[in-house]
Copies of this chain bind each other. A is one copy, B any other.
Amino acid sequence: ATTIPAKAVSAAEQLRDRAVTDQTAYKVVESLTTEVGPRVAGSPNDERGRAWAVAKFKELGFDKVYTEKVTYPLWERRSEHGAIVSPYPQPLTLTALGYSAGTPKGGLTADVVGFADLDALKAADAATIKGKIVYVSTHMQRQKDGHDYGMGSATRTLGAVLAAQKGAAAYLLRSAGTDAHSRTPHTGVTGFRDEKQAIPAAALSLPDADQLERVLASGKPVTLKLDLDVGFNGTYTGANVIGEITGRKHPDQVVAIGGHLDSWDLGTGAIDDGAGVAIAMAAAKLIKDMPQRPDRTIRVIAFANEEMGLWGGRAYADQHAKDVAKHQLGTESDFGSGKIWRMTASVKPEARGAIEQIAKVIEPLGVAYDATKPGGGGSDLSQMHGKGMAALSLTQDGTDYFDYHHTANDTLDKIDPKDLAQNVAVYAVFSYMAAQANGDFGSAPNAFANDGARD
């Protein structure tokens, strides 16, 4: 069975205690949001973000820094406006969704047909939708594990595709968010994957959705105007940016951690996912600061274009599928900066004891180990887990995550430095202990194909 030597356990305890007061992660995310800011995939700021990441890895003293190309369709937001035209003219605060089509020059004006939820849209006759602007409501509640986002994101991704298939002129949803009182619409990708499939698609802020729903409830015909100057614009090649602390004994065996470097353009990508990049960078940096290098390599991956469909994660998994057995254990941070409260794992049975050893060291940080659930590896690294990488899920407190997620309000002030440091402690501990383990966690081609993990 795989175990972690007592010496490594006590070193991990010290690492944990150093991490909880360490400011590195906060300084990293402060630097990223202040010096780069929004970095939507394929934008000039995305390129500046990659340069920032390379420089930051070097500044933090990583042993090896490199990039791996990621190619994807370029989508651009130039301007966006919406308004109720009749019966009661007034502007609406909205934001276009990723891979939305643009409206014709001068805008698109059409009647609205409203649906209470995605199921109602699914059940609707295409004849009632053709040529209309489809509006779908959502009903997300604040939750520690944010599970309503499953429904919210489905309404955004599938709803747009369904509306297009049924002949809608455009698609509008009540934002997949929990900030009932904030006029900050939530963007995010649709299910469109090419220009031919796409129709104009946007999200209303929650107060604007309330407004539209009040007008729809009046029973009068409601006409909206959408003016979205957005759309596909060819292909772009960006990159995953990778920094490594090279393993002393097994440099080719890697613990893989990371976050995604891209963000949406409305905010500055502090909680999504500057925090994740910062947590992983800081955890590896703290391991680097130990008296000697860990036995295995700690690899920090700042992924490209997670937001529009895991492009960086899929590219990484494609490029590294052949090395899956060399991936000791991995997981990505991509759920804000709230404290981690739960660990779950997908590992081979003979490595459960080692996972329990890790659980013991992070328990004082408030993390409970649930041995009954799989570990999915997080957003981009879910793709590598899909190839067979042993993976954890480190579940953060996302109670307020969907207040800010994908909005203009995703800014540095939302990050509590102490909560962020708790995350760093957990990542540092598990990464170090996995790197020092006597044995592996079961990574092998398709090793966890049926574990039921969903991230």
Complex alpha-carbon distance, A101 and B400, angstroms: 39
Q: How far is the CB of A168 from chain B (nearest CB, A)?
A: 25
Q: Do residues A409 and B36 form an inter-chain contact, with CB atoms below 8 A?
A: no
- In the complex, residue of chain B having the shortest beta-carbon distance to the beta carbon of A33: B211
Complex alpha-carbon distance, A414 and B179, angstroms: 12
Cβ contact of A180, chosen from B35, B210, B413, cutoff 8 A = B413
Cβ contact of A413, chosen from B181, B267, B412, cutoff 8 A = B181
Q: A207 on the interface (CB 8 Å rule)?
A: yes
* Range for the number of chain A residues in contact with chain B: 20 to 34
Q: A5 on the interface (CB 8 Å rule)?
A: no
Please, which residues of chain B bring their CB within 8 A of the CB of A181? 409, 411, 413-414
Please, which residues of chain B bring their CB within 8 A of the CB of A182? 182, 184, 409
Q: A37 on the interface (CB 8 Å rule)?
A: yes
Q: Do residues B411 and A37 form an inter-chain contact, with CB atoms below 8 A?
A: no
Give per-residue flags for A83-102: 1 if the beta carbon is below 8 A from chain B beta carbons, else 0. Answer: 00001111101000000000
Q: How far is the CB of A274 from chain B (nearest CB, A)?
A: 13
Complex alpha-carbon distance, A38 and B88, angstroms: 11
Q: Please report which residues of chain A, range 177-212, place their CB below 8 angstroms from some CB of chain B when the two chains form the complex.
A: 180-184, 206-207, 210-211
- In the complex, residue of chain B having the shortest beta-carbon distance to the beta carbon of A88: B35
Q: Do residues B90 and A36 form an inter-chain contact, with CB atoms below 8 A?
A: yes
Q: A408 on the interface (CB 8 Å rule)?
A: yes
Q: A268 on the interface (CB 8 Å rule)?
A: yes
Q: Do residues B37 and A90 form an inter-chain contact, with CB atoms below 8 A?
A: yes
Complex alpha-carbon distance, A34 and B183, angstroms: 15
Q: How far is the CB of A440 from chain B (nearest CB, A)?
A: 43
Q: A214 on the interface (CB 8 Å rule)?
A: yes
Q: A215 on the interface (CB 8 Å rule)?
A: yes
Complex alpha-carbon distance, A233 and B45, angstroms: 38
Cβ contact of A88, chosen from B36, B87, B90, B267, cutoff 8 A = B36
Cβ contact of A207, chosen from B89, B90, B409, cutoff 8 A = B409
Complex alpha-carbon distance, A182 and B45, angstroms: 23
Cβ contact of A183, chosen from B36, B88, B214, B409, cutoff 8 A = B409
16 contacts between A and B (CB under 8 A): A34-B214, A34-B215, A35-B87, A35-B88, A36-B90, A37-B89, A37-B90, A181-B414, A183-B184, A183-B411, A206-B413, A207-B411, A207-B413, A210-B411, A210-B413, A211-B412
Closest CB pairs A-B (n = 9):
A37-B90, A183-B408, A207-B411, A35-B88, A34-B214, A207-B413, A181-B413, A183-B409, A210-B413
Q: Which residues of A contact B (CB under 8 A)?
A: 30, 33-38, 45, 87-91, 93, 180-184, 206-207, 210-211, 214-215, 267-268, 408-409, 411-414
